[in-house]
Amino acid sequence: MTHTVTSLLAEPPSATPHRYQVYRQAKNGLHHNHGPSVDSPEDAVASFLQTTPAFEGGGVRLWDHTEMRIAASAEWQVETTRMGFAVRHRSNVFYDPALALAASRIAEREQLEQSISNRLRMAV
């Protein structure tokens, strides 16, 4: 018995033109793409950080088409206030150290911009 493998099965899948895509979870549990696909890791992280969930507590994921895996996700912790209200806090989890570093740089840049903005308001 002779086994032949077609080139379609033997070759690795080609990379998509845009590497990263943000997905938001709908109430029915399915994830739908949100915003454009991007190739830049910094742009992908910025888009992921700015994406709000479709509903309270809904999932947000950053998908890496090249690696075929989730690169980042938003997780929600529920904290009860002293008055008994449940409040959700978003935690961004990055599964790729390079994307985590990009996220920390974005956060530092935003803190610097906020600091400069506050100083300018106080000077006026």
pLDDT at residue 100, rounded to an integer: 94
CA distance 119 to 9: 60
Rounded CA-CA distance 107/46 in Å is: 10
pLDDT of amino acid 14: 52
32 DSSP assignment: E
CA separation for the pair 84, 46 (Å, rounded): 34
Summarised one tens digit per residue, pLDDT across range 47-85 is: 999 999 999 888 999 999 999 999 999 999 999 999 999
pLDDT at site 7: 46
Q: Which residues contact 52 (CB under 8 A, 6 or more apart)?
A: 60
Q: What is the pLDDT of residues 10-42, one digit of tens each?
A: 444 554 567 999 999 999 988 899 988 999 999
Query: Does 116 have pLDDT greater than 70?
Result: yes
Residue 121 confidence class, pLDDT cut points 50, 70, 90: confident
Q: What is the pLDDT of residue 10?
A: 46
What pairing do the DSSP bridges indicate for beta strands 60-64 and 20-25? antiparallel
Gap between the Cα atoms of 96 and 103, Å rounded: 11
Q: Across the strands, what pairs with 33? A: 23
